[in-house]
């Protein structure tokens, strides 16, 4: 099964990607995570990527195309954060067809702007293992320490309020059009992403079919 997770910044894509990939044994291809890893390397490419991400705007499509080509193989996958504009959607179609693959479903997490902003400004991430927390809705057991590895939790650079506003505008101007695009293609399933993590997850797996769960 090949899936795309679509939704505004803070809609819960990363959170659901993590548990869906475990549940269905899919490869998680999270563009934001891959780009942040590149930025951390401090390479020329990493510095370029970091500049765009810091401003809350999209990294140019030519860079994204290479990243995607290098991360899609034979195994079933879940794309988190790609595509983000119509050009990238066409790009994905071409890459998949050149590999003899196709998309099975696009999972759209619909979340209000207020919820998204409060999730992003309250988000904390483990700087060691990348585990996700929220200071109100998903707090760690020990203040500011990761439950999984005990490392410090940090705020993402682009989660400051001004940058969050810019990311929201970019989403509305460029990414939102994909809802209609995938709806017309008969691939879109919409979910109420304002609900808690477990309810959203359950709604998605009910929709996709539990039969895919190789663990049960």
Query: Helices marked H in 42-151 — which ranges?
Result: 44-55, 61-71, 86-98, 113-122
Q: Write down the least CB distance from residue 41 to ligand AP5, Å.
A: 15
Chain-centroid distance of CA 121 in Å reads 17
Spot the catalytic one: 27, 93, 156, 195: 156
Q: Write down the least CB distance from residue 199 to ligand AP5, Å.
A: 7
Closest residue to ligand AP5 in the complex (CB): 32
Q: Write down the least CB distance from residue 210 to ligand AP5, Å.
A: 20
* 166 in catalytic set: no
| Cβ neighbours of residue 123 closer than 8 Å, sequence gap 6 or more | 10, 132, 133, 134, 155, 156, 159
User: Between residues 118 and 183, which has the closer beta carbon with respect to ligand AP5?
Assistant: 118
Q: Write down the least CB distance from residue 25 to ligand AP5, Å.
A: 20
Identify whether the C-beta of residue 9 lies closer than 8 Å to the C-beta of residue 19.
Answer: no
- For residue 59 the two structure tokens come to 């990294």
User: Between residues 10 and 106, which has the closer beta carbon with respect to ligand AP5?
Assistant: 10
Spot the catalytic one: 36, 84, 105, 119: 84
* 123 in catalytic set: yes
Q: Write down the least CB distance from residue 124 to ligand AP5, Å.
A: 7
Burial of 175 (0-12, 13-18, 19+ CB in 10 A): buried
User: Between residues 144 and 214, which has the closer beta carbon with respect to ligand AP5?
Assistant: 144
| Cβ neighbours of residue 205 closer than 8 Å, sequence gap 6 or more | 20, 23, 213
| Cβ neighbours of residue 92 closer than 8 Å, sequence gap 6 or more | 4, 68, 79, 82, 83, 103
Q: How far apart are CA 170 and CA 205, in angstroms?
A: 29
Q: How far apart are CA 155 and CA 164, in angstroms?
A: 12
* 156 in catalytic set: yes
Which chain residues interact with ligand AP5 by CB under 6 A? 7, 9-15, 31-32, 35, 52-53, 56-59, 64, 81-82, 84, 88, 119-120, 123, 132-134, 137-138, 158, 167, 196-197, 200
User: Between residues 104 and 196, which has the closer beta carbon with respect to ligand AP5?
Assistant: 196
* 119 in catalytic set: no
Which residues have a catalytic role annotated? 13, 84, 123, 156, 167
């Amino acid at each position: 099964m090949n899936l795309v997770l679509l939704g505004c910044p803070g809609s819960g894509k990363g959170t659901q990607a993590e548990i869906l990939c475990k549940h269905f044994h899919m490869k998680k291809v999270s563009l934001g995570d891959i780009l942040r890893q590149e930025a951390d390397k401090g390479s020329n490419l990493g510095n370029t990527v970091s500049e765009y991400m810091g401003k809350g705007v999209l990294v140019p499509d030519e860079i994204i195309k290479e990243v995607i080509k290098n991360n899609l193989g034979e195994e079933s996958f879940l794309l988190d954060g790609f595509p983000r504009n119509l050009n990238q959607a066409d790009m994905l179609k071409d890459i998949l067809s050149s590999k003899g693959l196709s998309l099975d479903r696009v999972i759209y997490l619909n979340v209000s702007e207020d919820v998204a902003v409060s999730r992003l400004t309250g988000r904390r991430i483990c700087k060691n293992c990348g585990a996700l927390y929220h200071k109100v809705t998903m707090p760690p057991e020990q203040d500011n320490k990761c439950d999984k590895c005990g490392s410090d939790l940090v705020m993402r650079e682009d989660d400051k309020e001004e940058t969050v506003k810019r990311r929201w505008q970019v989403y509305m101007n460029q990414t939102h059009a994909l809802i209609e695009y995938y709806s017309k293609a008969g691939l879109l399933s919409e979910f109420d992403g304002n609900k808690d993590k477990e309810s959203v997850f359950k709604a998605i797996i009910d929709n996709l079919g539990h039969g895919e769960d190789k663990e049960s």
